[in-house]
Amino acid sequence: MTDPAAHRIEILLVEDNEPDVLLTLEAFEEASVPNRLHVARDGVEALRFLRREGEHAQAPRPDVILMDINMPRKNGLEVLQEIKADRSLVSIPVVMLTTSQSDDDVRNSYERHASGYVVKPVGFENFLNAMRAFENFWMTFVRFPPHRDRP
């Protein structure tokens, strides 16, 4: 029998809003697919995590990234552009999860090769339902490329 932890989905949440972090953590704790949610509080920390720098030297490669746009130090669009320009990170799907309904933000996200754009729903139940839908698609139906750093 294989170890279920060996097949868990690694998710990087890049989010500076603490209530949204807590809601997302709660939603993924209830997930039917084993997962591990890592949190970066801004774009600079996200890139350090992805590049395994400093305190993130042992960080796993995420299978998918959920990223806000409006963050301090480096916004989500800037981070997305750096991820997609880096040969070692380009294959990681990035889903923008934001309050912005701006057509420019949507267009700029897809032009930078975002895998999806989700506007954060208002209200606790609506947010949890959105995270469950994310889980259903990304953690049930999507097949991720194998990682060289996984057993």
pLDDT value at residue 66: 95
pLDDT value at residue 7: 65
- pLDDT over 70 percentage in the chain: 90
Confidence of residue 149 (pLDDT cuts 50, 70, 90): low
The mean pLDDT value of the chain amounts to 86
Phi, psi (degrees; rounded to nearest 5) at 97: -125, 105
Contact between 118 and 76 under an 8 Å Cβ cutoff? The reply is no
Confidence of residue 78 (pLDDT cuts 50, 70, 90): very high
- How far, in Å, CA of 85 to CA of 105, rounded? 19
pLDDT value at residue 3: 42
Scan for tokens 């480096």, then name that residue: 74
